[in-house]
Structure 1
Amino acid sequence: MSSFSVASLPLEAGAQFTISDDGALLRRSVLPGGVRLLTSALPHVHSAFIGFWVGAGSRDEAPGTYGSTHFLEHLLFKGTGRRTALQVSEESDYMGGAFNAATGRQHTAYYGHVFEADMGRAVDLLADMVTSARLDAQDFATERGVILEELAMYADDAADVAQEQLPQQVFGSHPLGRPVGGTAETVRALQHEALLRHYRSVYRPEELVVVAAGAVDHDRLADMVLTELAKGGWELRDDAVPAPRRQVSDIDYPAGTTVSLTRDVEQAAVTFGVPAIALQDSRLSTEFALSTILGGGTSSRLFQEIREKHGLAYSTYAFPAAYREGGLFGMFAACAPAATEEVAGIMNGELDRIARDGVSEAEVESAFRRQRADIVFDGEHIASTMNRMATSELVRGELISQHEHVRRARAVNAADIQALAVELAAGPRSTVTVGPAK
């Protein structure tokens, strides 16, 4: 067993490794069928987070299937050939009730937090859902109404609307700009047969990544996974290889836009965004540092200017979003409707100020310490460990050790941050404001 800085994750039949990451035993195996299994065995932990991840998200939907990824997330809990929807719920509750799912732009995950003794039962349940969901027409019709209500709930929240609209403005017509859950229009238009086609094209052995962190034995889990997937009728050939990691076309960023949406709310939301770097860019740690200095804590520039100095908002922050095709750098604030223009002006001004004047050494040091805390503290949570391994497998194609993440954060300097700010500030800027009619 060896320690590592960066471990490649090859898409080859039978590929495997065993490495150590700050006391955790990490193992990866490409199983028959092209199924990938990653585990992080942690000493003195008596529970495990286990997830079945599928390597396709809303970005990967074909025309006529928009919204189907999120729709499937709902329907997989509506029963299988062996379990009714009630039995799925009863069984997950019996194991602790922490079973859930999440749809993203690049993947979909079904996961649960269980005691070590319940691992076999959890694998049985998750494999049954993924391989043998009923997906019948009646459930489809019923769940359409549920999803429309979910979308309506988000549409009543100014912050949710602003956060959903910003990628559409920054990414334009690129698939990453589409709403993750679809729109009311696409959900109403989605046909049952189109959803079934999407399911059959994506829910396959070569697309599946199983990840577990905590009290887990890799070899035993591999046997469980293969047994339950075979029970679900999946073909698991020894020579099968994993599906290539998805990457659609590069982003053709449009000109910046200013969008104002009307909602009957007491508090408005403002988001600001510019095109940013892709996931593979070596400057990701620099971008995190810039985000931290601009809006990563109570000493950040946005917090001090918008909240402390001007009293315009309670909540404000900055955020990067990096994908294989490109990225977005954003800022957010919730404020009084009358203050939206002033808040947007401060966001623009603070990015320009860093591009023009740079940042102090004290800010660089504070940003590093916050990044280090995020890296190390997240590593102490098994849910975060599961998420990190799964996204590394599905999106990055490499696993980066905790030590290497910290080293990269430490290497960022003031000149790096200013140079990136100059690049971002030169790009097209978009602002989305959501609030009551003026």
Structure 2
Amino acid sequence: MNGAVALPLEQAELSFTASGECLVRRTVLPSGVRILSESVPGARSSTVGFWVAVGSRDELPETYGSTHFLEHLLFKGTRSRSALDIAVSFDAVGGEHNAMTAKEYTCYYAKVQDRDLPMAIDVLADMFTSSVIDPEEFETERGVILEELAMADDDPSDVASERFFEAVLGEHPLGRPIGGSPQTIEAVSRDAVVGHYRANYRPQDLVITVAGAVDHDALVARATAALLEAGWDLSASAVPVSRRDATRDLIDRGSPLVVVPRPLEQANLILGVAGLPAADERRSTLAVLNSILGGGMSSRLFQEVREKRGLAYSVYSFTPSYSDAGIVGMYAGCSPVKSSQVAELMVQEFARLAQGGVSEEELRRAVGQLSGASALALEDSDTRMSRLGRSELTLGEFVDLDESLRRLELVTVSGVQELALELAGRPLSIAAVGSVDEPSLASLAASPGLAA
């Protein structure tokens, strides 16, 4: 495979060989269902995912949190299986099953031995298409989700993360918490969640991905049979739902500083700016920048804040990206009395990277780190299954390991500095949880950007 492979929505069949002699195939059924597989030589297990490109950003004000609510409910029983039946199906074969709600998609997945893949497809298809959303189960799960939100609210790093997204992204839908709030979960009605389910869980919305030990033709046949048995009409022609607009959205910062006062032993700090969309051509450069800044034990943040000064145990940077927006953030957990000093050091390190650039040695080390991590991650069928889903839903192209490594090798010292300078000029936001020196953080947040 040379270069990325485009995944046109209108192309019914696609097949190619990726790195490691893995066969990737894709079928788009007339109904709009998309089925992708990556057959890995020598694999004895398979990971299967049922995806829909609906996440927390797609909710209406009256349904905030309903995407995550619905994810819970699909495990609570269908017309032919109880919640216990679903759990037993996977427990009886030593399999794993779960789901994840993100800001732009929801995925229901399972990992099983190769011989149990047909069962996993049948159960996930039943869950996806035929959840009864029983009224009593709905109220029971409302309580479970409220407990989940309470648990997250007891974790200061989770609180800092939620407030940071709101601070950077402001009124943008990506700035909302994925799980909603206790108020919205208390208020949302069963009818609203059922309406959300019916509007977004249709054949043209469904993407099925399988990686590991899989035969594509058998996969398509089994998935088709399972969906038909569930009552879906796959004879009606439909075009798969369009991918989101990948044009970078202009982000209006929500707030320069958000402080959540709490009597904690540690302050949790997150500083950063708006980043790059997922499909930005500079995403490999951003990955290298992140590695150098705070992506490992040899990174600048780790060395300066932890190793040289002993001011924090956990300190790192991160760069989540979405279809039309992204974030570049830096996190540290430290003593409250040291919070202003640590925040200033993080800003200084980013400014030093933007103004002074990086060395060839740092570039080489970062490329090596990312190359090795990418290769090791693909030893797991879960990662390969997720790569297929993100390729189909967000990127519109499949990038294998060889192409990823090639793109990393093209990153230059000047390219990293240029991107750092661009990012450093964007408005800075700070979120802090704990007993911090708010005036000092406010003064830092009032600066024009990370390079000031």
User: Quick one: which amino acid aligns to residue 287 of structure 1?
Assistant: L
Q: Secondary structure of the residue that 1:5 maps to in structure 2?
A: coil
State how far apart, in whole Å, the 2-side matches of 1:166 and 1:95 are: 41
User: What does residue 86 of structure 1 align with?
Assistant: 84
Query: In the alignment, residue 91 of structure 1 is paired with which amino acid?
Result: S
Verify the 8 A CA contact 2:98 2:110 in the aligned structure 1. yes
**Deviations, residues 176-219 of structure 1 (Å, cap 9, x unaligned):** 00001111111111111111110001111111110111110000
CA distance in 2, matches of 1:289, 1:325: 21
Find the aligned partners of 2:179 and 2:23 in 1 and give their Cα distance. 36
Check whether the contact 1:123–1:224 (CA below 8 A) recurs between aligned residues.
yes
Q: Pick closer, same or farther for the CA change 1:89–1:124 going to 2, 3 Å.
A: same
TM-fit CA distance, 1:11: 1.0
Residue of structure 2 in register with 1:392 after alignment? 391
Structure 2, unaligned stretches of length 5 or more?
438-452
Distance in 1 between the 2:95 and 2:70 partners?
20
Which stretches in structure 1 are left out of the alignment for 5+ residues? none
Q: Structure 1 264/94 Cα, relative in aligned 2: closer, same or farther at 3 Å? A: farther
**Match of 2:354?**
355
Tell me the distance in 1 between the aligned counterparts of 2:14 and 2:113: 26
Select between 423-432 and 93-102 the one with higher mean Cα deviation: 93-102
Name 1:112's counterpart in structure 2.
110
C-alpha spacing 1:239/1:189, structure 2 compared with 1 (3 Å) = same
| CA-to-aligned-CA distance 1:317-339 (integer Å, 9 cap, x gap) | 11111112111101111111222
Alignment of 1:342-381 (within 5 A): 342-381=341-380
Q: Give the match for residue 144 of structure 1.
A: 142
SS in 2 for 1:279: coil
Q: Does the CA contact (< 8 Å) of 2:95 and 2:113 recur in 1? A: no
1:256 offset after TM fit, Å? 5.0
Secondary structure of the 1:143 match is helix
User: Partner residue of 1:297?
Assistant: 296
Distance in 2 separating the partners of 1:358 and 1:16: 42
Paired residue for 2:443? none
Residue 99 of structure 1 contacts residue 111 of structure 1 at CA under 8 Å; is this kept in 2? Answer: yes
Residue by residue, what CA displacement relative to the aligned partner does 1:320-378 show, whole Å, maximum 9, x if unpaired?
11112111101111111222111111111111111111111110100100111122111
Q: Where does residue 404 of structure 1 map in the other structure?
A: 403
2:241 matched residue in structure 1: 243
Tell me the distance in 2 between the aligned counterparts of 1:23 and 1:16: 16
Amino acid across the alignment from 2:281: S
Shift of 1:392: 0.7
Report whether the alignment pairs 1:234 with 2:229.
no
Cα distance, 1:432–1:31 mapped onto 2, change above 3 Å = same
Asked if the contact 1:18/1:28 (under 8 Å) is kept, the reply is no
Amino acid at match of 1:289: V
In 2: Cα distance, 1:343 partner to 1:258 partner: 15
Letter paired with 2:335: A
1:414 corresponds to: 413
Could you tell me how far 1:379 is from its partner in structure 2?
A: 1.7
Q: How far is 1:32 from its partner?
A: 3.3
User: Normalization by structure 1: what TM-score?
Assistant: 0.97
TM-score by length of 2: 0.94
1:31 is displaced (CA, Å) by 1.8
1:196 is aligned with what amino acid?
Answer: V
2:317 — aligned with what? Answer: 318
- Whichever residue aligns with residue 83 of structure 1, its letter is R
The Cα of 1:20 is off from its aligned counterpart by: 3.1
Task: Number of aligned residue pairs: give it.
Answer: 436
- What residue is the counterpart of 1:288 in the other structure? 287
* CA RMSD in angstroms, aligned pairs only: 1.5
**Bigger mean CA offset, 387-396 vs 18-27:** 18-27
> Residues 337 and 436 of structure 2 are in contact (CA less than 8 Å); yes or no, is this contact kept in structure 1?
no
**Match runs of 1:173-322 below 5 Å:** 173-237=171-235, 239-247=237-245, 250-254=249-253, 256-322=255-321
Contact 1:255 1:429 (8 Å CA) reproduced: no
> 1:69 corresponds to which residue?
67
Q: Tell me the secondary structure at the aligned position of residue 22 of structure 1.
A: helix
What's the counterpart of residue 50 of structure 1? Answer: 48
Q: Residues 12, 247 of structure 1: CA spacing in aligned structure 2 closer, same or farther, 3 A cutoff?
A: same
Q: Percent identity?
A: 45
- Which amino acid counterpart does residue 103 of structure 2 have in structure 1? R
Deviation of residue 238 (structure 1)? Answer: 6.0
In 1, Cα distance between equivalents of 2:126 and 2:264: 43
Q: Any conservation in 2 of the 1:31–1:238 contact (CA below 8 Å)?
A: no
